[in-house]
């Protein structure tokens, strides 16, 4: 029934795009329409029919397109002028007259088929170029192997050699390679050379290490041979063993070999023997302790063997080892005896020093004239005397003390003589100094500035009596002059040293006063008898200028000075300045 309904729809040209109402209007009058009784089944059969028809149409379209694609591709192959870089607008005029070109439904389908063919050409061309590049790189690698064999070759040298090579220039295969390809091939080749060189070095190192190991093994075998022969024992010295092997080839082969040397391996063997001997020595000590036998310096090897040789634990000890054990133990006994002797001597020296100290502190003290018998009676009850058992040692302590007393006495005599000599020398110098001092006091030094000071003093006295203005000091009392004369007489009576000291103190005082204003240092003394600008401090000069300016207006109203006053002002003597250290000199 369903197949009959499908045939009915097909006979009436019902397509999948036809609506169900339109299809129903076309087939409703046909008697096969009622092959399906249920309207719902008819609708489902119609939808199924549409699906099958669409699938058939799609399959036919796919087959048609595949066939058209193959025919279109074969047609494009016949046109050699079409390459992988040809564009559609360039190729269309070439193929538009072909029958396959017209079989396509529209322009988009034709262009799509052309683009698929171009993609295939590009892929095929890329594969060919890749294969060609691979082949060229292989050829270049073979060329580099033949040309470059040094792993330290630089790229600039290799590039110049490659470009000048005839095989590289004549082969068209190398034209597809650029500089980057050449550099990559060169880098790969240099890595291969480095790897080969490193492997060669590793191989040589392994061979060298193996050869060194065989040399050391041969030398150890030689040491084992001499050990079995008894040439190497515990305590054997290299100087005793070296003459036995100095001509052996195994010893000469080891010389200069890195690693453990001949002496190191010899000491390894000796240390092993020492370790074995220490074990056997400890066993011998255990035997001696069990036998309660103490070794002394007077014992011999036979005495030692008689004690420890019968013990079963010492049965595997050879005679040479027994002798070595005895020598080691005897060395220890001798060392202990020497230490005891040194300790006893040190204690004896301390006791003698203590006895000498006791003699030194006896009351009353020991004198130089005392004898040993006299001192012995006084000190024999002291514990220091009992500690020294030897009479000669006691007497030596006394003699040392007496010798020290004698040395002290001699030192005192020498010091007394030096002091007397120094006192005599100092006394003569003191007398000479006193004589010189008295001579200097009686004959004082001549004062070269005394006349100048007198003239300055007289000039000051004359100027004090004249009329003056400003900062002129008041007249000086005659008592000051008398005091000055007294000081001068006192100065003459003083010594030259006292006068020099007093002058230095006055100079320091003047320097201290002049430090107030450095500009006034060395200026003339201001007695108010001149108006020099440089002879007064700034404050005085300003006050004077102010007074002069104020008095100008007053002088016009006051009568002029008389001729006698002006004459006195004009005849005022010049200013005075500091002269010598104790007076003034008239300014010139």
Contacts of 445 (CB under 8 A, 6+ apart): 496
Label residue 207 exposed, middle or buried (CB < 10 Å: 0-12, 13-18, 19+).
exposed
Closest listed residue to residue 304, CA positions, set 316, 287, 282: 287
d(CA 150, CA 247): 44
* Tens of pLDDT, residue by residue, the chain (588 residues): 666 676 767 777 677 777 777 776 676 666 666 666 666 777 777 777 788 778 877 877 787 778 888 888 888 888 888 888 888 888 888 888 787 887 777 888 888 888 888 899 899 888 988 888 888 888 888 888 888 888 888 888 888 888 888 888 887 778 878 888 888 888 988 898 899 989 999 999 999 999 989 999 999 999 999 888 888 888 888 998 899 888 888 888 888 888 888 889 999 988 888 888 888 888 888 888 888 888 888 888 888 888 787 788 887 787 788 888 888 888 888 888 889 889 988 988 898 899 888 888 888 888 888 888 888 888 888 888 888 888 888 888 888 888 888 888 888 888 988 888 888 877 666 665 655 555 544 455 566 677 888 888 888 888 876 544 444 445 544 444 555 555 555 555 555 667 777 888 888 777 765 554 444 444 444 444 444 444 444 444 444 444 454 444 444 444 444 444 444 444 444 444 444 333 434 333
Task: List the chain domain ranges.
Answer: 1-127, 133-208, 216-329, 342-421
d(CA 316, CA 516): 113
Radius of gyration in angstroms for the set of CA atoms belonging to the chain, rounded to a whole number: 71
Contacts of 50 (CB under 8 A, 6+ apart): 16
Q: Judge if 1-127 and 342-421 fold alike in CATH terms.
A: yes
Longest dimension (CA), the chain: 188
d(CA 269, CA 236): 10
* Segment (H or E) for 68: helix 39-77
d(CA 189, CA 183): 10
Label residue 45 exposed, middle or buried (CB < 10 Å: 0-12, 13-18, 19+).
buried
Calculated CA dihedral for residues 418, 420, 424, 429, nearest 10 degrees: 60
d(CA 260, CA 438): 96
Q: Which CATH number fits domain 342-421: 1.10.10.440, 3.40.50.300, 3.30.1120.130, 1.10.3290.10?
A: 1.10.10.440
Closest listed residue to residue 519, CA positions, set 529, 534, 507, 533: 534
Calculated CA dihedral for residues 265, 271, 277, 283, nearest 10 degrees: -140
User: Are 587 and 524 spatial neighbours (Cβ–Cβ below 8 Å)?
Assistant: yes
pTM over 0.85: no
Three-state SS for 585? strand
The predicted structure's pLDDT at residue 485:
55
d(CA 433, CA 441): 12
Question: Long-range pairs for 407-411 at CB < 8 Å and ≥24 separation?
Answer: 409/368
Three-state SS for 36? coil
The CATH superfamily assigned to 1-127 is FF domain (1.10.10.440)
| Overall residue count recorded for the chain in this entry | 588
Closest listed residue to residue 250, CA positions, set 226, 280, 283, 276: 226
d(CA 125, CA 65): 26
Three-state SS for 577? strand
Query: Omega of the bond prior to 235 within 30 degrees of 0, cis?
Result: no
Label residue 355 exposed, middle or buried (CB < 10 Å: 0-12, 13-18, 19+).
buried
Three-state SS for 578? strand
Q: Which residues of 93-130 are buried (b: 16+ CB within 10 A; e: fewer)?
A: eebeeeebbeebeeeeebebbbeebbeebeeeeeeeee
Three-state SS for 584? strand
What's the distance, CA 521 to chain centroid? 62
Contacts of 573 (CB under 8 A, 6+ apart): 459, 462, 463, 529, 586
State the alpha helices, DSSP H only, in 78-106.
88-95, 99-103
Q: Looking up tokens 């220091």, which residue turns up?
A: 384
User: Are 455 and 586 spatial neighbours (Cβ–Cβ below 8 Å)?
Assistant: yes
d(CA 113, CA 82): 14
Q: Which CATH number fits domain 133-208: 1.10.1740, 2.40.128, 1.10.10, 1.10.3470?
A: 1.10.10
Three-class SS of 322-349: HHHHHHHHHHHHHHHHHHHHHHHHHHHH
The tokens describing 411, both together, are 């030192």
Query: Which residues is 577 bridged to in the sheet?
Result: 585
The predicted structure's pLDDT at residue 204:
92
Phi, psi of 106, rounded to the nearest 5 degrees:
-145, 180
What number of H helices and E strands is found in the chain? 22, 2
How many C-beta neighbours within 10 Å does residue 15 have? 13
Contacts of 343 (CB under 8 A, 6+ apart): none
């Amino acid at each position: 029934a369903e197949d009959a309904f499908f045939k009915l729809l097909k006979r009436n040209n019902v397509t999948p795009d036809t609506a169900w109402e339109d299809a129903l209007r076309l087939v409703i009058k046909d008697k096969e329409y009622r092959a399906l009784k249920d309207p719902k089944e008819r609708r489902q059969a119609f939808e199924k029919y549409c699906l099958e028809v669409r699938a058939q149409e799609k399959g036919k379209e796919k087959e048609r397109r595949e066939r058209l694609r193959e025919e279109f591709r074969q047609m494009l192959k016949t046109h050699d002028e079409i390459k992988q870089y040809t564009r559609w607008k360039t190729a269309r005029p070439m193929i538009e007259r072909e029958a396959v070109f017209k079989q396509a439904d529209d322009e988009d389908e034709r262009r799509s088929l052309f683009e698929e063919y171009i993609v295939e050409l590009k892929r095929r061309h890329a594969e060919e170029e890749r294969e060609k590049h691979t082949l060229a790189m292989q050829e270049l690698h073979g060329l580099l192997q033949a040309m470059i064999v040094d792993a330290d070759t630089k790229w600039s040298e290799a590039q110049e050699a490659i470009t000048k090579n005839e095989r590289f220039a004549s082969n068209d295969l190398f034209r597809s390679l650029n500089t980057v390809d050449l550099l990559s091939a060169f880098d790969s080749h240099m890595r291969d050379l480095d790897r080969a060189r490193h492997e060669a070095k590793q191989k040589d190192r392994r061979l060298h290490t193996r050869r060194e190991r065989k040399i050391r093994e041969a030398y150890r075998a030689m040491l084992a041979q001499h050990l079995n022969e008894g040439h190497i024992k515990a305590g054997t010295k290299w100087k005793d063993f070296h003459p036995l092997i100095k001509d052996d080839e195994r010893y000469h082969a080891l010389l200069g070999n890195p690693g453990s040397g001949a002496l190191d391996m010899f000491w390894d063997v000796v240390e092993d023997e020492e370790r074995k001997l220490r074990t056997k020595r400890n066993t011998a000590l255990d035997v001696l302790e069990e036998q309660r036998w103490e070794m002394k310096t007077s014992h011999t090897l036979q005495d030692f063997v008689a004690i420890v040789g019968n013990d079963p634990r010492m049965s595997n000890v050879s005679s040479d080892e027994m002798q070595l054990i005895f020598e080691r133990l005897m060395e220890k006994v001798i060392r202990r005896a020497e230490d005891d002797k040194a300790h006893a001597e040190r204690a004896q020296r301390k006791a003698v020093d203590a006895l000498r100290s006791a003699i030194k502190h006896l009351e009353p003290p020991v004198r130089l004239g005392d004898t040993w018998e006299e001192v012995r009676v006084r000190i024999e009850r002291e514990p220091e005397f009992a500690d020294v058992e030897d009479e000669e040692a006691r007497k030596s302590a006394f003699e040392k003390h007496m010798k020290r007393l004698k040395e002290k006495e001699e030192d005192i005599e020498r010091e007394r003589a030096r002091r007397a000599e120094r006192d005599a020398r100092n006394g003569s110098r003191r007398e000479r100094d006193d004589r010189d001092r008295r001579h200097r006091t009686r004959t004082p030094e001549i004062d070269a500035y005394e006349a100048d000071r007198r003239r300055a003093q007289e000039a000051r006295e004359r100027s004090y009596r004249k009329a003056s203005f400003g900062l002129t000091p008041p007249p000086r009392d005659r008592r000051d002059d008398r005091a000055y004369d007294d000081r001068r007489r006192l100065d003459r009576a003083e010594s030259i040293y006292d006068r020099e000291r007093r002058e230095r103190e006055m100079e320091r005082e003047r320097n201290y006063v002049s430090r107030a204003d450095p500009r006034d240092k060395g200026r003339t003394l201001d007695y108010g008898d001149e108006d020099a600008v440089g002879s007064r401090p700034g404050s005085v000069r300003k006050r004077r200028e102010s007074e002069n300016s104020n008095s100008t207006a007053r002088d016009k109203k006051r009568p002029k000075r008389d001729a006698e006053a002006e004459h006195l002002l004009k005849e005022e003597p010049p200013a005075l300045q500091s002269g010598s250290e104790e007076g003034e000199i008239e300014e010139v």
